[in-house]
Every structure is written in C-alpha cells, then in structure tokens.
Chains A and B, each alone.
Chain A
Amino acid sequence: MITQNEDYKNIPGWGMDADPENEPTYPMKNYTGDDHSRINYERAEHQPQDVEILMSNERPAMTRVFGTAVPPSGLSGMIRRYAFQHSEDRYRHWIPLILADRVNVFEGLIADIGTGHLPNFIKERGLAMEWKYNRTGLLKKAATAAVIGVVLVAWIRKKK
C-alpha cells in the first residue's frame, strides 16, 4: 500500500482505539488485514482465453477464470463493446447493456428462423401452466391485450 504520510503511525493516538471486532461485517468477515496488501495476493493459473470476453474497465487485468457462455456477437455485441468502454458507475455502461439484451432477443429470433426453427412461443412461455392453474387470469390478459390491440388499430386508421 502506498501512503502519503509514511510517518502516520507516529501521529498521537494512532490506532489506540482499534477494535478488530468493531467491524460492520463481523462475524461475516474474518478480518486479516490483507486488504491493505491490495491486489497483491496469490493467484491461480490463467484460464486460456480463446473467445472474446468483455472486461470491466475498473479492473487492471482479467480474472484467472471466467465464463464463456455467450461471447458478444452481432449488433448486440457491438453495443456491449461500447458499454464496456464505460465504468460500472456510468449509465453509459448499464443502459446500453439493457438495450443490447433487447436487440439480442431479435437476433435470437432471426437466428432461429435462419436455422429453420420456428419458436413455439406458447411452449417457451409456459402458458400451459397458466391455462391449467390460472385460466381466468389468462383469458382476462388475452382479452385486455385484444382490446388494446383493437383500440390501437382503430386509432392508427383514424389518424391515417
């Protein structure tokens, strides 16, 4: 740890009231003082990186292991790469990520159709369970959606 005042331990009263157990995270944290050595701790080997991993710009380097579930790709990947140019503190990080997630849904649909798979929305949304256990609620939602749809179509036609 770099300190601005190397003589700080000679400040009158320094540390005399310190109580390791007066620690907001106690007993969850086994206080060792290692925090003061910052990021200089023993590490595992590096996981080989053969796919693109976006890294928080609040880190100096990759973590020793990481997930490789879905590397960024397509338009959503471009948006995610932009997001990761900004820190976790910024809206410019999180809002683009949420946008990318929504874009990614359409990319998924296009990929499905491109591979000849037509998504079964009823099955994917588990609507059989609603039909089995909440039929009235499901019908109410369907009716509400139908009414809103009809009103919207009528409004658009009238506007034209």
Chain B
Amino acid sequence: MNYRGPYRIRTVDKPMPEILHPEDAIIRVTRSCICGSDLHLYHGMVPDTRVGSTFGHEFTGIVEEVGPLVQKLKVGDQVLVPFNVACGKCNFCKQGLFGNCHESNPMATAVGGIFGYSHTAGGYDGGQAEYVRVPYADVGPTVIPAEMDPDDAVLLTDVVPTGYQAAEMGGIKEGDTVIVFGAGPIGIMAARCAWFFGPARVIIIDHIDYRLEFARNYAKCEAYNFKEMADPVVFLKKLTDWYGADVCIDCVGCEAEGNTLQTFSGRVTLMQAGAATAFQWAINSVKKGGIVSVVGVYGPPFNLAPIGNIVNKGITIRANQASVKRLLPKLIDHVLSGRLSPKELITHRVPLAEVADAYRLFSSKLDNCIKTVLIP
C-alpha cells in the first residue's frame, strides 16, 4: 500500500524491510485492517503524511526474522502487533503507558510511535503490506494463543483495546448512564466494553443508520441518529432525565459531522485540527462532575472546545492512545472465554492488491461496511 496524496493510494513493490536495530523483527503480515483513524491519513488531515508512506497499524503476522537482541520471539511465531511502538524501558512504558513511549518517535513529543501513521507518529511504514519492520520486538508483539481465531487476534491490536480503554477511562460505576459518540468500530467496541464496568444504560449516537443498527445488535445498547434530532444535546439531556450522562465517550475525533461551524473551520478550511463536534457534545451532554473520555483522533495544533463549560461543570477529561500491551492479558481472556467476539465486526475481506477500493469502501461507508480486513 502506497499513499500518493489525499484520497489516492495504490499498491507498489517496495524493498523488503530490514533489521535496522538489534531489537527489531521482520513480520510477514497475514492480516491487516483499515482503521477509522487511517481515514484521517487518507483524507490528508494528519500533518507530515508523506507521499510514499505505507499505512496500517492493525496487523498480525508470522515472525520472519529477528534481530540479535530479541529473546522472546522466534522465527515462525504467529503474533499480533499492538499499534504502539513501545520501548518497555522509559518511565511511561514502565508505568503502563505504552501508548506514550518516549523512545519511539523523534518527530513529536506529544505522541509515541505508531506503525504506519505519518511521520508525526514516528515515520514507520505500516502493516498494510506483505512485510513490516517491528522495532522493540520483545515488548509489543504477542504470540497469538493457539485456540484464538486469527480474525479476533487482528482486532486485538487496536479496536478492542481502544474501545475497552475508552470505557475504562470513563470510570464507569455500577448503575451509570454512558453515552458513546460515534458508531464506527471503536465506538461500537466502546459501547460493548462499557458493559464490563456495570452501567445501567449505554447509549450510542451516530448519523449512519446501518451502523446504529449494528451497534444496537452487537453492543446491546440504545442507538439514536443525531440527524433526526433538532438539538442532540437537548435530546440527550431529556433522555437522561434532564440530568446528563454520568460518562460521555468521544469515539469520533476530527472528522465529525453535525455542527456547521465546526465542520467548516475544522474539515473544510483546516483552521482547527478537525471538527470537535463530538467532543463539544460530550462536554455539554455529561452531568456536572461527570467524566468525558476521549479516544477519537484529533490533529496536533488545537480545537475549538467549550472550556468554560468544562470548568463550570467540574468535568474530568480522560484521554489517551490505548495502552494495548497493558490491556492484552485481560482482553485475550475476555475473547477466549467467549465474553467478547471482536471478529463479528468484520464485514469485508479484501486482497491487499485492491487496497484503493477497500479504502474507498470504508471511507464512503458503502455496502454497509463496518470493518475491512486486508489479506496480503
């Protein structure tokens, strides 16, 4: 997969990746997903996305080669690779913040290294390819349990941990009401995972009916289309006894719809780092003293947000890139025990050679697409 500019990608032959560091591994990719956040790259929204880059931060594969200092992996191991590039030694990694590694991205301090996610996230080629270089191979890659379905495994690299952490950061208490903004794969997974924390209600908001229907069935939540509401915040206040939700979760990020000013300033003119509509709605729909959890991807400069309301309502905002490595043991257990079935999100399987079609399908939300897996 090779990025050529906004909305333009193709497949090309690139040189085989090489071991560049003694802790590297080379992985032969077996499955790779297109993430909703890949669409921000595809749409040209992420600064320092260079022509010639290969995207892809959700992938599984077989270890093809290991560097001399790699001890935990061996050639032939089938692994799932967390989207974060993490050293495992810096203070942030040692504290479980593997998404905030300080030794994987020289190009920005605000974000750790991420596979295939622009030079702002470290300049690594991603896994929408036949082979990929994986640094710090003893830290991130995890051997896939023999009894695990490979489709479940590939979704444990990002979708499941990000959705789970979105709910976890919400600090959901028993009996709480939770509103999830965005019924993409992450939002659906956040709604599903919210139940692990014991809420009484989980509500999901989007504007695409087939996704709302999917969320209703998969995540067992209430689902509403904001295009059918005169004012989404008033609707949600009324829905929550005119009190506000205990927890709101933003799973949308910078390409939100629903607010003309946000859309114009954030998506059309790029005067802010994308449209912060979902974040704004989350702040205004949560109760006083409530928690807003953010996993939606925003660009680096800044966004328009109602800071005054955050102060006046005493809202706690919790946000981060998912710490995949920290969450994997728990999530693997949920999957293997049958409590969670991530593979049900997969609606399309596309050969890597048809990656341009796959991106368009996902970007334009055609053919009821929820999640696309690329097969090299």
A residues lining the B interface (CB < 8 Å): 24-25, 27-32, 34-35, 37, 39, 41-45, 47-48, 53-56, 58-59, 62-70, 72, 76, 80, 84, 88, 91, 94, 97-98, 100-102, 104-105, 107-108, 112, 119-121, 123-130, 132-134
Contacts and interface: CB of A to CB of B under 8 A. Distances in A.
Nearest to B93: A41
Interface centre among B5, B110, B300 (most CB of A within 10 A): B5
Contacts of B200: none
Interface centre among A28, A37, A39, A88 (most CB of B within 10 A): A28
Contacts of B102: 39, 63
Contacts of B96: 28-30
A114 to B, nearest CB: 14
Given A25-B320, A34-B91, A34-B94, A101 B357 contact: no
A15 B104 CA distance: 34
B123 A124 contact: no
A70 B51 contact: yes
A105 B20 contact: no
Overall SS of chain A's interface: loop
Nearest to B20: A47
A44 B87 contact: yes
Contacts of B89: 41-44
B180 to A, nearest CB: 18
A28 B320 contact: yes
Contact of A70 (B53, B318, B356): B53
A97 B23 contact: no
B38 to A, nearest CB: 13
B314 interface: no
Contact of B366 (A30, A37, A72, A134): A134
Query: In the complex, which of the residues A24, A53, A76, A94 has the most CB atoms of chain B within 10 Å of its own CB atom?
Result: A94
B330 to A, nearest CB: 11
A79 B218 CA distance: 47
Contact of A56 (B7, B107, B125, B165): B107
A88 B123 contact: no
Determine the main DSSP class of B at the interface with A.
loop
11 contacts: A25-B320, A32-B94, A54-B106, A63-B104, A65-B85, A65-B104, A66-B113, A98-B47, A108-B52, A127-B360, A130-B360
A69 B106 CA distance: 13
Interface of B: 4-10, 20-24, 44, 47-54, 69, 85, 87, 89-91, 94-97, 102-110, 113, 119-120, 122-125, 135-136, 165, 168-169, 270, 299-301, 316, 318, 320, 323, 326, 356-361, 364, 366-367
B59 to A, nearest CB: 15
A28 B92 CA distance: 11
Contacts of A102: 44
Given A62-B106, A66-B105, A102-B44, 15 more contacts: A28-B96, A63-B102, A65-B23, A65-B87, A67-B123, A68-B123, A101-B50, A104-B5, A104-B51, A126-B357, A126-B359, A130-B366, A132-B366, A133-B364, A133-B367
A24 to B, nearest CB: 7
B95 A55 contact: no
A113 to B, nearest CB: 13
Contact of A123 (B10, B95, B366): B10
A30 B95 contact: yes
Contact of A119 (B4, B44, B357, B364): B4
Given A30-B96, A66-B105, A101-B49, A25 B318 contact: yes
Per CB-CB distance, the 3 closest pairs between chain A and chain B, nearest first, are: A126-B360, A67-B123, A67-B124
Contacts of A58: 109
Contacts of A129: 357, 360-361, 364, 366-367
A45 B367 CA distance: 48
